[in-house]
Structure 1
Amino acid sequence: MPHWSVRSGFNPAALLGALICGLLALLLAAQAAAAPRVALVLGNAAYSNVPALDNPVNDAEDMTAALRDLGFQVILGLDGDQGQMRALIDQFGKAAETADVALFYYAGHAFQVSDQNYLVPRDFRADSLDRATARTVALNEALGAMAKAPGVKIVLLDACGDNPLQLSGSGSGLARIGSPADFLIAYATQPGAVAFDGAGRNGTFTEALLSHIHTPAQDIGEMMIAVRKDVMARTGGQQIPWDASALTRRFRFADGPPTASPETLFYQVSVRAADPALLRLYLQRYPNGSHVGEVLALLSQDPARSGQARRSMGPDADGAAGEQLWDLARRSRLTPLFENYIRTYPDGPHIDEARRMLAELSSDADPGPARRCELLATHPRDGTETTPGVSYELLAQNAVEAMRSCAEASRLHPRQAKYVALLARATAAAGLRADAVALYIQAAERGDLRAMVSLALLKETGDGVATDPAGALALYEKAAAAGSADAAINLSVTLLDSPRPKDQERAITLMQQASQAGSPIATFNLGVLAQEGRFGDPGDARTLFERAAREGEPRGHRAAAVLLDEGRGIPRDASRAAVQLLLGVASDDGSLLHELTEQSENWTPETLSALQRRLARVGLYQGPTDGTPGPELGQALELWRNGGLSAAALSG
């Protein structure tokens, strides 16, 4: 049976197809009155009278570490009772009065009554509704403490959403509330819905936050889109993070120049480390990645010779390699990356945190059936930083184990249809077509978006079922309405070919919907439409192409570079074009490197000169910076692609 996935492909001139019983802990780094960034992080898990939770303590501790790394002074409370939680909120309120950024994070039980949200302390007891709410901490108490902060105010709520009361008059999930001026309020799931505990160390929402919060140059709005995309992928669309923003200025957790994609950074870290284990891990995480051919070639070389060659690929005085390795480790939570950091940088700036995380991860050696199911059977287009997608061919090799794990996961987590969908994929890989189709139908009927899209593709092609174009279209419509970017793209591409203006208008709306859901393909397609004058303004195309590249479509870098190089719809900017070319060379399948060395006439001398100067800045290029290509430029670009990427070449 073929690999079931959304349409994919590339034509430079066309659209892309769819594709927290601990002690109370207070950690305050300095006097909060002097802090531009302050945060209160609360995590409650060891409840006395309602069901305990698995992840919130881990979530709070890991969020604290991330925020400190980003310059926040953090007040941390773990398993606090009502009095302790209120005391910390009062302390936080005083600290926030002079803060440029005030952030409140909560993980644990919460519920709503009459459109008011209540956070559940460790000592909470439920008997009557009136007495129950009196034993909580109202979310409004935390919002009130933040109100005097003069700057940006961010609220992140990873409440499990299960109603611990079981009393008439209280609702599941949290109530939607307005966002006052300069507030951004983000929920783990849409108002009134239930969020799921994660299958690993962290809750699903917090895991996604931790994977994206360190991304340089990413506005918080873009970050929340990336978080939403990951959570939807991990839950089959059953959990959709929701946020409301009334921010009056842009905010980024991490500043700095743009970087290459996580895949490219993983490749470069592996090459610099000259570590075959990391190279093999790259293949596991990115089976269809842009660097698979190069990794296979490296693995076939003599380790001593190839390792020495890779270690000599340019200066690294600014510690860029160590920072790249650390960034990947904290985002992916992969044990081999923490081990490599500790071994390679024993005196590195992040060594203590690396050891803590490695100890935490090592204590969870057995991931359990749900996590094993995810690791064995996740569709490549649903892969995240912490859960790589698995190719159909690799899944087929492990189909029996995947089926066993997914069947047990679906039994243990009956509300989560995604495990049925993953079981369907594993069953298909085992060659049991009829059983797989029945499971896809079951998962689709229960609301799993990936199952809907996969089933629609089967109906389109007649693979294992009767050909049913109308049935496929109905499934795409249902999945798109529920938030599937892949379904929206497939519908959009079909409608764009329609002669009816209303169809084309809806096609663009669907493409926007998919882009807003975090699809880099949809964002790229909007860039193409803008460039053609069919969407927005032609001047928007560069921004869309660059965003698509940041979200994971490397060919967006070349598209943006073309516009900057030629001044097509925007002012010419050779320096910015060179940055996009460097990012593209590092990220794509090698096509741009070939073009710059074999078809350099496609680019203006001004852009080539800017490219030469940036490579010379980091010691990779020693030739003239006159815009004339030559062997030195080709060699420099090869070094840049294969381990020489440095932020210094991208800044300024």
Structure 2
Amino acid sequence: MPSWCARSGFRPAAILAALIAALLLAAQAAAAPKVALVIGNAAYDGVPALDNPANDAEDMTAALRDLGFQVILGVDSDQAQMRALIGQFGAAARTAEVALFYYAGHAFQVADQNYLLPRDFRLERLDQATARTVALDEAMAAMAAVPGIKIVLLDACGDNPLRLPDGGSGLARIGSAADFLIAYATQPGAVAFDGAGRNGTFTEALLSHIHTPAQDIGEMMIAVRKDVMARTGGQQIPWDASALTRQFRFADGPPTASPETLFYQVAVRAADPALLRLYLQRYPNGSHVGEVLALLAQDPARSGQARRSLGPEAEGAAGEQLWDLARRSRLKPLLESYARSYPNGPHIDEARRMLAELSAETDPGPARRCELLATHPRDGTETTPGISYELLAQNAVEAMRSCEEASRLDPRQAKYVALLARATAAAGLRAEAVALYENAAGRGDLRAMVSLALLKETGDGVAPDPAGALALYERAAAAGSADAAINLAVTLLDSRRPQDRQRGIALMQQASQAGSPIATFNLGVLAQEGRFGDPGDARTLFERAAREGEPRGHRAAAVLLDEGRGLPRDPSRAAVQLLLGVASDDGSLLRELAERDGNWNPETLSALQRRLARAGLYQGEADGEPGPALDQALELWRNGGFDTAALSG
């Protein structure tokens, strides 16, 4: 959250609701397996109000309840209420398998201790400042006796404008005892920014990834970090410290395809031209663009018939996929499609609640308009799709106007200058764009550094400067840019000097740890070739790259499992990776299975047939023999027949 700079209204109804919920929860005798305390303070009495924390708390509560948590909610709570909620939380979580504490609002550190500000915080004497707060240690102490996993999520502004003695910017790093994971909206000692929409930047990223099935919390935090860095140009980097001794996933279930693939599946099943066009807007370079354009050119009745041919058994899976995409992206057209198609669906009440909230937000404001109009595709997130350069050029004037206003209103965030630079370049004003990129790069924006380095490397709008480009890549990589690290790594890996190759591998690892699926895939290739780690690591790396959005990882993992390269053969798992790859890539794997089926062992093809039969798409014998029946089933699977039930077991 930004420090002391935003606005929020007083919410007495929310306080009353929180108190009623607290009384009801207190009456429950048995502790739930998963218990959470969620506090969001926005309407402060004695310090500047904040826009997002109340929304953040309410949306996190809805998400956690959907994931099976018993949630104790406090919105705009005063000091006494916060302490009462913490006491109630400690009692409810005493025997919990998972205890989670989430806080959004103002906070500061003094003498390496973190303090959360209640709604009634007022500063009258500096030596009494901490006495008017609630120490984070109080919540940590309430969780200490919990036998299970303990998670602390802090979306706090972390500034110290009060100039308190021994105070510093940001929140202090605190140790994590066994089975604790503590996550901050930004690195210790730094200040976080607010979001331009309904939620804070950190919480928005959490909400986008918390429902991802089969994703360990460590991988989830990498995905969150990647999104927040993309949204802030690298000026905000979420940080976490984990002492977990076991894995934890917020959402169980079989592996699933990428959001892009699921979006395509949902749009095809719905035969909805509006959703198909929205796919093109969100994924202008997506794997299914050609198929979407072909569908849009068809007669609508033919598209509807293709949808019906999948059979009624696919409807339940389609509804869950549509809901999963809608709640993660919080896109109004997806929520409207769910409400229209599944008026009696299990998530209809939550869909209507979210629609009502989105309908109330009529003007996104210049900052949000700037992000929606000018975000680079490599910086796209679930809620902010990247925009192709060609599409940006069509709306360059509007984008420039929005980004100029956003930069004026929030001069601390260099990302708006970087987005203005991209819009200016798309308008054909190269010299002005270079000056803006230099401004944003000088202020630490990572996308501006990489974009400026590319211009210097190619001599586009500026004199060629290979040394200057290399220096920018080095600086951006050191600050956490995965793209810069990959660009450097590719050059170094081709070097004849062993020390260069080793640094290239280290940079590729850095980019992978930052959430780059391309870097993770490249590490898999290096492992397979015996140049990195152990050859047996290749499958894990390929599968992780695929989960993060690199569809080539599915085929690469399937090859290893099919042939038993560096690991035992596993036809069943190979079939899962083939199905995911067929659904996700640009159609190459589907063509390979149809035209060069001899590339795969009969045992793997038999497992593939059984899984397609489970989805109701294959009717023949599971004999491991290729043929038209298998080809047709795979075609249906790719174009609307995706069903996670076929991937389980």
Displacement of 1:305 in angstroms is: 1.8
TM-score when normalising by structure 1: 0.96
The residue that corresponds to 1:5 in the other structure is none
The residue that corresponds to 1:593 in the other structure is 590
Displacement of 1:34 in angstroms is: 3.0
Structure 2 letter corresponding to 1:434 = A
Structure 1 letter corresponding to 2:427 = A
Q: 1:621 aligns with which of 606, 618, 623?
A: 618
The residue that corresponds to 2:133 in the other structure is 136
Q: What stretches of structure 1 of length at least 5 have no aligned partner?
A: 1-19
Three-state SS of the structure 2 residue aligned to 1:107 is strand
The residue that corresponds to 1:208 in the other structure is 205
| Distance (Å, rounded) in 2 between the aligned partners of 1:369 and 1:316 | 45
1:171 and 2:168 equivalent? yes
Displacement of 1:170 in angstroms is: 2.0
Structure 2 letter corresponding to 1:40 = L
* Alignment map for 1:79-478 (pairs within 5 Å): 79-316=76-313, 319-478=316-475
Could you report, residue by residue, the CA deviation over 1:169-222 in whole angstroms, capped at 9, with x for unpaired residues? 322210111111100000000001010110000000000000000000000000
| Distance (Å, rounded) in 1 between the aligned partners of 2:586 and 2:315 | 28
The residue that corresponds to 1:35 in the other structure is 32
| Distance (Å, rounded) in 2 between the aligned partners of 1:309 and 1:253 | 35
Moved more, 497-506 or 572-581: 497-506
Indicate if the aligned counterparts of 1:109 and 1:119 stay in contact, CA closer than 8 A.
yes
Three-state SS of the structure 2 residue aligned to 1:319 is helix
| Distance (Å, rounded) in 2 between the aligned partners of 1:216 and 1:542 | 19
| Distance (Å, rounded) in 2 between the aligned partners of 1:126 and 1:159 | 19
Moved more, 518-527 or 342-351: 342-351
C-alpha distance 317-301 of structure 1, shift in aligned 2 (>3 A): closer
Indicate if the aligned counterparts of 2:160 and 2:169 stay in contact, CA closer than 8 A.
yes
Could you report, residue by residue, the CA deviation over 1:256-312 in whole angstroms, capped at 9, with x for unpaired residues? 100000000000011111110000000000000000000000000011121122222
| Distance (Å, rounded) in 2 between the aligned partners of 1:149 and 1:319 | 37
TM-score when normalising by structure 2: 0.96
The residue that corresponds to 2:607 in the other structure is 610
Structure 1 letter corresponding to 2:637 = W
| Distance (Å, rounded) in 2 between the aligned partners of 1:170 and 1:357 | 39
Indicate if the aligned counterparts of 1:51 and 1:164 stay in contact, CA closer than 8 A.
no
Structure 2 letter corresponding to 1:346 = P
Displacement of 1:168 in angstroms is: 4.5
| Distance (Å, rounded) in 1 between the aligned partners of 2:346 and 2:157 | 34
Indicate if the aligned counterparts of 2:421 and 2:436 stay in contact, CA closer than 8 A.
yes
Structure 1 letter corresponding to 2:551 = P
Three-state SS of the structure 1 residue aligned to 2:291 is helix
Q: 2:55 aligns with which of 33, 51, 58?
A: 58
Indicate if the aligned counterparts of 2:314 and 2:643 stay in contact, CA closer than 8 A.
no
Q: 2:570 aligns with which of 568, 573, 596?
A: 573
| Distance (Å, rounded) in 2 between the aligned partners of 1:621 and 1:403 | 52
Indicate if the aligned counterparts of 1:161 and 1:193 stay in contact, CA closer than 8 A.
yes
Displacement of 1:524 in angstroms is: 0.3
Indicate if the aligned counterparts of 2:109 and 2:158 stay in contact, CA closer than 8 A.
no
Could you report, residue by residue, the CA deviation over 1:618-645 in whole angstroms, capped at 9, with x for unpaired residues? 2100112111100011110011001111
Indicate if the aligned counterparts of 1:33 and 1:96 stay in contact, CA closer than 8 A.
no
Three-state SS of the structure 1 residue aligned to 2:129 is helix
The residue that corresponds to 2:638 in the other structure is 641
| Distance (Å, rounded) in 1 between the aligned partners of 2:264 and 2:352 | 23
* Alignment map for 1:43-54 (pairs within 5 Å): 43-54=40-51
Give the share of equivalent positions with the same residue, in percent. Answer: 87
The residue that corresponds to 2:11 in the other structure is 22
Three-state SS of the structure 2 residue aligned to 1:71 is coil
Displacement of 1:368 in angstroms is: 0.2
Could you report, residue by residue, the CA deviation over 1:16-55 in whole angstroms, capped at 9, with x for unpaired residues? xxxx922420436683633100000000000111110000
Displacement of 1:130 in angstroms is: 2.2
Displacement of 1:365 in angstroms is: 1.4
Structure 2 letter corresponding to 1:421 = A
Three-state SS of the structure 2 residue aligned to 1:316 is helix
Q: How many residues get paired?
A: 633
Moved more, 340-349 or 302-311: 302-311
The residue that corresponds to 1:4 in the other structure is none
Indicate if the aligned counterparts of 1:128 and 1:167 stay in contact, CA closer than 8 A.
no
Ranked by relative contact order (alpha carbons within 8 Å, sequence separation 6 or more), the top structure is 1
Q: Which stretches of structure 1, 4 residues or more, deviate above 4 A after TM superposition?
A: none
Indicate if the aligned counterparts of 2:110 and 2:164 stay in contact, CA closer than 8 A.
no
Indicate if the aligned counterparts of 1:586 and 1:640 stay in contact, CA closer than 8 A.
yes
Q: 2:551 aligns with which of 538, 550, 554?
A: 554
* Alignment map for 1:528-547 (pairs within 5 Å): 528-547=525-544
| Distance (Å, rounded) in 1 between the aligned partners of 2:228 and 2:313 | 36
| Distance (Å, rounded) in 1 between the aligned partners of 2:618 and 2:481 | 45
Three-state SS of the structure 2 residue aligned to 1:243 is strand
| Distance (Å, rounded) in 2 between the aligned partners of 1:96 and 1:73 | 9
